[in-house]
Structure 1
Amino acid sequence: MCDLHHSDHERTAPDSGLNRRQVMQLLAAAGVTTGMAAGAGTAAAEPEPGAPRTGLAKDTPAKRAALSWIDRHAGEVTGLNDEIWEHAELSLREWNSALAEAEFLRRAGFEIEWGTAGFPTAFTATFRNGRGPALGFSGEYDALPGLSQRAGAGTHDPLVYHHDPFAPSYGTGHGCGHCALGAAAAGAAAATAEGMRRHRIGGTVKFFGSTAEELMIGKAYAVRAGAYDGLDAFLDWHPAATTATGWGTTSAMNAVTFTFLGVAGHGGDPLGNKSALDGAVMLATMTEFLREERLAPSGRLNYVINQGGDAANVTPEIAQISFYVREGSPERVRALLDSVIRCAEAAAQASGTTVRHRVTASVWHKLPSRSAAELLHENMVQLGPPRFTDADQRFAKQVQSSLGLPEVGMFSEIAELVPPNPVFLGGGSTDVADISWQVPTVSLGTAVAPIGAKTHNWAFTAAAGSGTGHAALLATARYLSATAIDLLTQPERLRELRAEFAQRTEGTEWRSLLPDDYEPPMYEPPEWFLRRTGQSWPPDNITWPPERVVSKEEFASLGPDLPPVE
C-alpha cells in the first residue's frame, strides 16, 4: 500500500464491456477459470450472486463516542499526518515517524512494544479492556525516494531539490500517502478504544506500526514470526483517488535484486575489463523478450538499475538491478521468477561476469472478505464522503491540469459496492495480503488525491500534506472506527467473517514465500533512537555486520598475443 494495490477498492462497473467470448479468452490467457475460489492457484475472487446486504451497521452509543472522539481530536490526527509528512523517511529508517505514531497512541492509553519481528522501527500498540474480540489496525509511515513536493502545490515543485550537474535529483516524499494512512489508522484505533472504555465493551485493539511497506518487507516477515496471531479481524486502508471498498484481490509478488560482479578498468583501455553494467543491461533487455511468450495479462515485470557505475571512464565493477515479479498466485510468481533468473544466468555468461541474487520480499495475493466489505461500505455510506472544500477542488483541478488529466476535481461520493471483475488482469501488491490469510481482513481506499492521479507521483505528495489529505484521513478514521465498533458489539458480524474466511481458505495452506534462510534487510539505527525506544542492536534475526560484497573477478583473457606483421 506502497507499492500497491488499488485493484480491490477502486471504483468498478458491474458491466466489463466484454462479451462472453472475450472474457473467456482473457481468463484463458490469465490461466484461470470461472467459479474458482480465491485460493493459492488463482488471484481471482470467487464471484458470488446477490446484491450486497444492508442493515449491518448499527447506530450505538459506543459508535457515537468513537466518532465524537475523532471530531474532538481532529487537529491532533491531522497534526500527526503533517509531522510524518515533514519527516518523509525512507523504508527501514522511519526513526522520527515511528516515534511520532507510537507517542500518539501512548497518549491514547495504548501500551507500546518496540521491535516487532526484530525491525527497529516496527512497533505494536495494544489497548485491552477486559475479555472480548481482538481487532488489528494497520499503520504505515514510510516515504518514497525522488517524490519531494510542496504541500498543496498544484504544479510539480519539489520541496527538496539536490543540485548535481551530472545527476540532479529530488528529495524524499510521501507519494503513496503513508503519512495519511498511519495517522488515520492511529486515529481510528484510539477512537475505538475510547468507545470501548466509555461503554464498557470488552476486547483488545492492536495497532501494528509497520516498517518498509514500500519495499514489501515489514508485514510478510512479521506474519511468519507470528506477530498477527490471535486477531479476530484486521482493518486496513490506503490513500487513493476514489472512495470505495470491495472484495477484490491483489497480485502476489517476489522482489529480487541481482548483483553482477566484474573487473574495473580505464574506459580508454577497455580490453580485458569486465563490465558488471553490461550484465545488468543484458538482463533488462532479455526480460523484455519475456513479455510476448512468458507474461500473461495477470503478470507484471518492473525493474530499476539501482547501481550502474560512477563515472563513464571507469568500467563498472559492481552493478545491481532489482525486479518486482508479480502474478496472480504464488505458483505463477515462482514460474515467472524462474524465467528471470535464467535470463540473469545467461547475461552473466555472455558478459563474462558473475551474478548472485537475493530475494528481498515475497507476498501472497490478498484473500478477500465480502462480509467485511459489506459492513464497511454501509458505514461509509452512513457517514458520507470526505468533506472537501472549494479550495480543495481548485487545488485538484490545478493538479489535473498539470498532469494533462480532465479537470473534474476530487471524487466526492462513496462508490457503489460491486463484485470484482470476473477475471484478474493483474495490478499492484501489498504485504497486507499475507495478513489476510491469517485473519479476516477488509480494506478500503479513500480519495486523498484528485481523480486520475496515481500513487508514486508528486501529486500524491502534494495532496497528502494538504486539505484534501486531511479531509480524507479524517473520513477514513471514522469509517474504520465505526466498523470496528460494529465488530465488537455485534457477535454475529464476526461469526460471518469467520465462516467466510473458513470457506475461502479451505484446501489452501498458507506458507510464507520467503526463503527459509531469509534475513530481512535492515539499517543500523542511530543511538538516540535505540535509547528512546529501549532497544539494543543488532536484533537476533540478522547477521551483523553484513557480508561485504566484493568482486574477486579476474581480467578477461583475449588469447595469446598476435604475431608481428612483417
Structure 2
Amino acid sequence: MCETDHLESSGFSRRDMLGLLGAAGAGLAVTPILTADPALAAASDLALDPKTQPADPGDYEAPTKLAVDSPAKDTAMSWIDRHSDDIVGLNDRIWEFAEPSLAEWNSSWAEAQFLQANGFQIQWGAGGMPTAFVATFSNGTGKPVIGFSGEYDALPGLSQEKGKPQHSPLVYNHDPYAPTYGYGHGCGHNSLGTAAAAAAVATAVAMRSRRLDGTIKFFGSTAEEQLVGKSVSVKAGVYDGLDAFVDWHPASSNSTGWGSTNAMYSYAFHFLGTDGHGGSPLGTRATQDAVTAMSMLTEFLRESDQAPSSRMHYAIRQTGQAPNVFPTLSSIWYFAREGSPARARILMDKIIKCAEAAAMATSTRLQYQLMAGVWNQLGNKRGAELMHANMVQVGPPAFASADQEFGKALQRSNGTPETGFADKISELKPPAPVFMGGGSTDVADISWRVPTISMGTAHQPAGTKNHSWHHTATAASHAGHLTTLAAAKYLAATTVDLLTQPKIVAEMKEEFARRTAKIQWKSLLPDGYQLPLYEPPKWFLERTRQAWPPRGVTWPPKRIVSTETAPDLGPELPPSNLPPLE
C-alpha cells in the first residue's frame, strides 16, 4: 500500500495546482484547490474563510492588542531575569556535550534535571526512544494543556570554538589521509532546548504564584536533525491531549509567521557486493561504484524532473576506506523534500528507481529502508499573531557593540554583507501565496494534531548558514546567550496569554479545524517501522530507570551482511599465439 493512500486524489496535475494557487488572489474559488493537494492547500491561507483574508497579502496588518500585561506575565519575565545565569549555564553545558542524534545521553539528562529541580515530573523513553522524555507540571484544574518542544542534538563536522569568527574546530580528529571535525551545535539546538525549558519553568512559577489553572508539558525530543524523534512520538500518541503547542528555533531574525515547510522522506540505501583488490579489479561486484552511480543518476533528476519546491540531497555514509580495497558494503542516505507528503513520495520513488538502476548496472544487491517521514508544517495564523504581539511587547535582544562586531566578523568570514545581528522585531507578514520549498521539521507532525505556534530569534547574523560552523560559534557566545534569553521570554509571555485568554485558544482551535477539514493526518511511518536506535550506556539506563531494549524492539538488530559471489565473466579465453609486442 502506498504510504499516502489517505491523501485524496483530485485529477489535477501539479502544474494545474500551482496555477490555481498562484491565481487564488484573483478571486478564484478555493474548492478545487483544496482537493488538488489537500496537505499543501491546508497549509496555505486558502484553507481559511476567504471573507476574513485580504485579497492582497500586502494589505495585511498585524493586530496590536493581543498581548496582555498581567502580574503572571511579570512573574515569568522576572524569573527568567533572576535565573539568567542558570539558563546560560545549561545552554553552554549542552553546547559542550555536542552529542549526535539518538545518543544525547548527557544533554537530555541535563535538560531533564533542570526541569525536575523546578517542580516537573519526568517520564523517560517517550515513543520508545531512550533520550526522549516528557516533563509535566500541572496546577488547579489542569486545563488548558500547553506543550513545549526541547531539542538537544548536534551535527557532524560542525565543531567550532565558541565566539571565534574564523573557522577553528574545537574537536579536530587527526588522520593523515582523511582528517575530520567533531560534532557541533550548528543548528543551535543547545539553545532551543534551553530556552524552551526556561520558558516552561518560568510559566510554571507564574502559575503557582498567581494561581493559574493549566498544565505545562515539555517534550524532550531526540534526533530532530534526523527528523525521527517527534514523528515517532506523535504516532505513539505521546502528544495527545494538548490544547496548543509553542515552539521556536534559532534563526537570523526575530520573527514569527504561519508559513509551511517541506514534507520529507528519509531512506538509507545499502549496496552489497564482493571483495576485490585494487591491483586486480576484474570480477568484483563494486559497491563503491554503485553509490557513485546512484548519486550521478539522481543528479540528473535536478534539471528536468524536480519541481521548484522540491529538495533532494544525500550523504555517502560508508564506502571504501583504502584505494586498494573494494568494500563489500557501501551505504548512501537520501532526503527527499516536497510541499506535501504525496509530492515527497513521488520524488523519493524516483530516487529508489535510481538506486535499483545503480544496483543493476554494478551487479550489486540493494537493500533500503525508511528512516524517517514527516509532513509539511501546518501554521496557525492566530497563534502567530499572538506570538508577534508578545515579541513586540517584550522587545528585541539588546546586543552590545562587541556582539555586533562579532556578528560582522562572522559575516566577513562568510563573504556576506556586514550587517551584524538583527536587532529589531520583524514585521508580521502572511506567507507567500505559492509555497516554493525549504527545510523540514518533525514539529510538522505535531502541527497536524494540535494548533502550533513557531517563532525564531536572531541567534546568528544574516547571511551565515544554518548547519554551519558559524552557527556553532554563536550558540555559546554572548550574543547567543542574549537571544536564548529573549526566546525564553517570548515563549513564556505567549504561554501565559494562552493560559489567561481562553478566547485566543478557542480561535486557534477554530482555525485548526478549518485547515484540517478536508484532510486527515496519518503518520508516514508504517506499522512495523524499525526505530534507528543506539544502545545507551549503562549509567544512562540506571539514572533514567529504563530497561533495554525498549518494548517492541529486537536487539541487536538484524545485520546487513554481504553473501555475494563473484560475477560470471563468461568462458575463459584461450591463450594467445600472437608474438609479444616489441
> Does TM-score exceed 0.5, indicating one fold?
yes
110, 114, 130: which one pairs with 1:120?
130
Counterpart secondary structure, 1:66: helix
RMSD (Å), alpha carbons: 1.6
State the match for 2:7 in structure 1: none
Query: In the alignment, residue 337 of structure 1 is paired with which amino acid?
Result: M
Query: Aligned pair 1:110/2:109, yes or no?
Result: no
230, 234, 243: which one pairs with 2:241?
230
Query: In the alignment, residue 524 of structure 1 is paired with which amino acid?
Result: E
Counterpart secondary structure, 1:320: strand
State the match for 2:338 in structure 1: 327
Cα distance between partner residues in 1 of 2:452 and 2:40? 20
108, 114, 129: which one pairs with 2:139?
129
Query: In the alignment, residue 383 of structure 2 is paired with which amino acid?
Result: A
Cα distance between partner residues in 1 of 2:84 and 2:15? 50
Cα offset, 1:187, TM superposition: 0.3
In structure 2, runs of 5+ residues without a counterpart are 1-13, 25-29, 47-52, 55-59, 578-582
Cα offset, 1:42, TM superposition: 4.4
Does the 8 Å CA contact 2:261/2:377 hold for their aligned counterparts? Answer: yes
State the match for 1:71 in structure 2: 81
Cα distance between partner residues in 1 of 2:414 and 2:375? 33
State the match for 2:560 in structure 1: 549
Cα distance between partner residues in 2 of 1:118 and 1:324? 24
Cα offset, 1:515, TM superposition: 2.3
Cα offset, 1:30, TM superposition: 11
Tell me whether 46-55 or 131-140 shows the greater mean CA deviation.
46-55
Give the 5 Å matches for 1:455-494. Answer: 455-494=466-505
Query: In the alignment, residue 472 of structure 1 is paired with which amino acid?
Result: T
95, 107, 121: which one pairs with 1:85?
95
Does the 8 Å CA contact 1:241/1:411 hold for their aligned counterparts? Answer: yes
State the match for 2:45 in structure 1: 46
Counterpart secondary structure, 1:273: coil
| Residue-by-residue CA offset, 1:521-557 (whole Å, 9 max, x unaligned) | 0000000111111111000132111111110111011
Does the 8 Å CA contact 1:44/1:423 hold for their aligned counterparts? Answer: no
State the match for 2:161 in structure 1: 150
Question: With structure 2 as the length reference, what TM-score do the two structures score?
Answer: 0.91
Q: Where does structure 1 differ by over 3 angstroms across 4 or more consecutive aligned residues?
A: 24-39, 41-44
CA pair 319-403 structure 1, distance change in 2 beyond 3 A? same
State the match for 2:540 in structure 1: 529
State the match for 1:211 in structure 2: 222
Cα distance between partner residues in 2 of 1:421 and 1:32? 9
84, 89, 96: which one pairs with 2:106?
96
State the match for 2:511 in structure 1: 500
Sequence identity of aligned pairs in percent?
Answer: 56
The count of residues paired between Structure 1 and Structure 2 equals 543
Cα distance between partner residues in 1 of 2:139 and 2:324? 66
State the match for 2:429 in structure 1: 418
Question: With structure 1 as the length reference, what TM-score do the two structures score?
Answer: 0.94
State the match for 1:434 in structure 2: 445
Counterpart secondary structure, 2:150: strand
Query: In the alignment, residue 86 of structure 1 is paired with which amino acid?
Result: E
Cα distance between partner residues in 2 of 1:76 and 1:448? 19
540, 555, 560: which one pairs with 2:571?
560
Does the 8 Å CA contact 1:305/1:322 hold for their aligned counterparts? Answer: yes
CA pair 285-32 structure 1, distance change in 2 beyond 3 A? farther
Does the 8 Å CA contact 2:185/2:471 hold for their aligned counterparts? Answer: yes
Cα offset, 1:51, TM superposition: 2.4
355, 371, 384: which one pairs with 2:366?
355
Cα distance between partner residues in 2 of 1:97 and 1:357? 31
Cα distance between partner residues in 1 of 2:275 and 2:424? 58
State the match for 2:411 in structure 1: 400
Query: In the alignment, residue 87 of structure 2 is paired with which amino acid?
Result: V
Counterpart secondary structure, 2:354: helix
Does the 8 Å CA contact 2:261/2:441 hold for their aligned counterparts? Answer: yes
Does the 8 Å CA contact 2:40/2:376 hold for their aligned counterparts? Answer: no
Cα distance between partner residues in 1 of 2:208 and 2:482? 26
Counterpart secondary structure, 1:289: helix
| Residue-by-residue CA offset, 1:431-481 (whole Å, 9 max, x unaligned) | 000000000001001011111111110010000010111000100100000
In structure 1, runs of 5+ residues without a counterpart are 1-23
Cα distance between partner residues in 2 of 1:335 and 1:402? 39
